[in-house]
Amino acid sequence: MENKNSFVLYPDLIHTVSKLPDELAGRLFKVILEYVNDKNPDVDSMDLLVQVTFEPIRQQLKRDLKKWAEIREKRVEAGRSGGKKSGATRSKRSKCLTDEANEANASNSKQSQANEAVTVTVTDNVINTPLTPQGDDADLMSVFDYWNEKGIIKHRELNSDIKKAILKAIKNHGRTDILLAIDHYSEALNSDYKLVDYKWGLVEFLKQGNAMPDFFDDGAKWQNYQQYKAGVKPEPQEKQLISEFDPNYFTNQVKAYNAQKQN
């Protein structure tokens, strides 16, 4: 069982093992551990009861190992496919960002030349006012425009709530990861994957704990979607309370309900 650090023993074994003397039950446990650690125990030379009890356990371990290997291979393939697409997306977006930076540098260069010309010809009464930094505005608009391009829920204007949400998200995660999460969310939402079918607005997507973070490259929803595309059934997970994902979930639902009633 190379490269596998765990195995499953099923509780119904108690019905068989409880009938063994303690000495043979202990020997059986050692045989199991030797087997899963590839020690090749000589089972045929052991007590017949140990042999008979161990054989169905060995067959079940083989079936579990085969199933684990198949799932592992599908996940590796899914991750490889997702990585290629994410890499292509990053490359394309990196080129766009480079072009934007070049345009900005060219614009700043022209402005600097204009400022120098003004300094030479204008009298001492002129007061030089520093240019307002454009970085935050450019980041805001790139996220806002990219969201609207996806057509999930289009926003007509960049209001103060959206600005605050975008700036906070950029500070915490960076613009590139936000754009990738939007791209992932749009892809999953527009597919036939039924576990991603809720349309958030941009503010909700950026702020809720079960929205944007789940669509990062290592996010739960994005990983499950990748497995779905590869035909791998996700393993069952422990149930978690909604409040563990979004402490404001119920408050937001009440607000949405009241807003619909007013409209």
DSSP assignment of 14-67 equals: HHHHTTS-HHHHHHHHHHHHHHHTT----GGGS-HHHHHHHHHHHHHHHHHHHH
Q: How does residue 73 score in pLDDT terms, banded at 50, 70 and 90?
A: confident
The per-residue pLDDT of the chain, averaged, comes to 76
Tell which residue, 201, 142, 199, 200, has the closest CA to residue 167: 142
Structure tokens given for 63: 């079936």
Q: Give 220-241 pLDDT, tens digit per residue.
A: 898 888 888 888 765 554 444 4
96 Cβ neighbours under 8 A, 6+ residues apart: none
DSSP 3-state of 256: helix
Of the pLDDT bands very low, low, confident and very high (cuts 50, 70, 90), residue 126 is: very low
**pTM tops 0.85, yes or no:** no
Could you read off the pLDDT of 155-186 as tens digits, one per residue?
A: 999 999 999 999 999 999 888 889 989 999 99
The residue with greater pLDDT, 49 or 212, is 212
Q: CA 47 to CA 79: how far, in whole Å?
A: 47
